Structure 1
Amino acid sequence: MNLSFRQLQAFREVMRTGSVSEAARILGRTQPAASALIANLEAELDLSLFRRQRGKMVPTPEARYFITEAEAILDRLSLSTRTMREIGELSQGRLKIACMPAASPVLMPQLVAEFLHDKPAVKVSLMMRASSVIEEWISSQQYDIGLSETPAVSGSLDTENFRLSCVCALPADDPLAAKDEVTAADLDGRPMAALQDGHQNLIETMKAFAEQKSVFFQRFELRSFQPAMTLVENGLCYCICDPITAAGYIKGHAKPRPVVFRPFRPSVVLAVSILQPAHRPPSTLATSFAQSLSQELKELQAVFHKADGVTTTP
């Protein structure tokens, strides 16, 4: 059986109006074309749907039964068409996002809020996880988009990579805040907050101190940099943190801020990536959000980088 959308439309309008010519007018077709649609529908169903009496199309009992089915099909097609159009216009759908801890308090929620302000029907799953878990989720196509530390090259991941220079977080009233940049030598033997043993940021920070023959004194060991901001506020330590955390802190605190950020030398780089599944085409919604996230990270680079690699902060 090869029923068509136009046949069902013609049938419904004839049932409503009792006239092929009136149905043709409503559908914007010629009367012969509308008659042909009804005839073809009857041939497909092997049923007579109308009796012609005194210029009127009188429906048969079979037609009265079939109109319920036809209207259900047409309504479903109309709903599906409207839904797909809304998905194409980014006003409906579901987006599953996984992000690293640094982006979870401010950057990602704020970006999601901005993205959704005119999309009330879009649903979002936003989960914070370690980078290794995010890689697994994206590789297995459980999530649409991930923001994590840059993973090893994998055939199951599409990545857009960014290299962000870390900055030194210090109390606003600290004498070092008067400097244009802070070096490892400036922090020689001073208490530091840093990430857990084995983390790449800690390794790179210790290398920077070793390069300037300075003592790295880790007073606080943390899983993320957010708690470090409170410790720095209270004058307990300094911290070489990622610029995502720094930007989040700046956005979340009105001036005068108790913590300020200065360029740190030698450079400590955070490599982050936007991840998407390699073996599944992204939805229009996911593509649009990934573009927004990419632009946000590029703007972050612009705020915290100069062309020569020297960090700047607001």
Structure 2
Amino acid sequence: MNLSFRQLNTFREVIRAGSISQAARVLGRTQPAVSSMVAGLEAELGFALFLREHGKLTPTPEARYFLEECEDILARLEQTKRTLGGIARLEKGKLRIASHPAASGFFTPRVLTEFLRDKPGVDASLMMRSSGVIEDLIASQQFDVGFAETPKARSSIGQQDFDLECLCAMPRDDKLADHELITPETLRGADLAMLFEEHQTHVQTRAAFEEMNCAYRWRFELQTFLPGLKLVEAGLCYMICDLITAQSNLDRGDTGLVFRRFRPRIGSSVSILTPAHSPQSRLSQAFCKRLEAEIRTVQQNVEAFVKTA
């Protein structure tokens, strides 16, 4: 049996209208076309749906029963059309995001909030995981989008990399706040908050101070830079941190800190990760574009950020 949506819709309209001619007017078709559609449906079903007497159509008992099934089918099809339309307009769907700790506190939630503001039908999962774990989650297709520190290339992961400049964080009323540029010489003998020894920013910072023969005190060891903002704000140390953390300070509305450029340049690379071996949903693609735009805004507006921080 091969029934079509048009056949079912025509049958329902004939029942409602009570005649072929009226149904044809409602459907915007010719009477012969409607008659042919009904006849084809009857042939497909193998029984008559109407008794035709003196130019009048009378639904058979089988037609009344079939109408109930027809209404259910058409209602389901209409709901499916609305659902698919919502998916096409990015108004429905599921988005699974894994974000590394530095961005999970404020940056990624803000980007997701703005992205979903006009999408009430979209459900989202936002999980904080370490960058290494995020790689595996994306490679195994358990998440749609990962935002992490840049990993080594893997065939199972698609990645878009961003090289971000690190800035020096200090209290707004600090004696160095009027400097436009901070160097190891400027921070000679200062207390610093730094990430663990193996982290790329720690390695670069240590090398910068050693090259200029400037001593410093590694007072606070951190897993991520975000908690260090409170230590800096309290005047306990300085911190050379990534741009995402600096942006997070603005996102949370803090005003007790300022950020200054540091030379030699310390870099921090982050990446948007997606599964390489599965198609990316339109919703996931749209979120990746939004996330990319936000990262590039931070990346390209360092000068404005430093002046307003």
Judge same fold: TM > 0.5, yes or no.
yes
Displacement of 1:55 in angstroms is: 2.2
Deviations 1:275-306 (A, max 9, x none): 11112222222111111111101110122169
TM-score, normalised on structure 1? 0.93
Percent identical across equivalent pairs? 49
1:50 alignment counterpart: 50
CA distance in 2, matches of 1:286, 1:17: 45
Name the amino acid aligned to 2:280. Answer: P
Displacement of 1:215 in angstroms is: 2.5
Matches for 1:156-305 after TM superposition, within 5 Å: 156-253=156-253, 257-304=255-302
CA distance in 2, matches of 1:69, 1:42: 15
Deviations 1:144-179 (A, max 9, x none): 111111111112212111100101111222222221
Name the amino acid aligned to 1:142. Answer: Q
CA distance in 1, matches of 2:290, 2:307: 22
* Deviation beyond 6 Å, 4+ runs, structure 1: none
Matches for 1:49-198 after TM superposition, within 5 Å: 49-198=49-198
CA distance in 2, matches of 1:305, 1:268: 16
CA distance in 1, matches of 2:220, 2:212: 22
CA distance in 2, matches of 1:207, 1:25: 82
RMSD: 1.6
CA distance in 2, matches of 1:185, 1:243: 22
CA distance in 1, matches of 2:198, 2:97: 26
2:38 alignment counterpart: 38
Contact 2:258 2:306 in 1 (8 A): no
CA distance in 1, matches of 2:236, 2:50: 88
Name the amino acid aligned to 2:35. Answer: S
Displacement of 1:211 in angstroms is: 2.1
CA distance in 1, matches of 2:181, 2:306: 9
Displacement of 1:216 in angstroms is: 4.0
CA distance in 1, matches of 2:265, 2:116: 36
CA distance in 2, matches of 1:127, 1:280: 21
**Number of residues of Structure 1 aligned to a counterpart in Structure 2:** 308
Q: What SS does structure 2 have at the residue aligned with 1:209?
A: helix
CA distance in 2, matches of 1:91, 1:180: 45
Name the amino acid aligned to 1:108. Answer: T
Deviations 1:8-62 (A, max 9, x none): 1111111212212222221111111111111111111112111112322212222
Name the amino acid aligned to 1:15. Answer: I
CA distance in 2, matches of 1:140, 1:24: 54
1:25 alignment counterpart: 25
Name the amino acid aligned to 1:260. Answer: V
Name the amino acid aligned to 2:141. Answer: Q
Query: Can you give the 5+ residue segments of structure 1 that lack an aligned partner in the other structure?
Result: none
Contact 2:148 2:271 in 1 (8 A): yes
TM-score, normalised on structure 2? 0.95
CA distance in 1, matches of 2:66, 2:221: 72
Name the amino acid aligned to 1:281. Answer: P
Q: What SS does structure 2 have at the residue aligned with 1:177?
A: coil
2:13 alignment counterpart: 13
Displacement of 1:260 in angstroms is: 1.0
Name the amino acid aligned to 1:195. Answer: L
Contact 1:135 1:146 in 2 (8 A): yes
Query: Can you give the 5+ residue segments of structure 2 that lack an aligned partner in the other structure?
Result: none
Q: What SS does structure 2 have at the residue aligned with 1:176?
A: coil
CA distance in 1, matches of 2:134, 2:192: 28
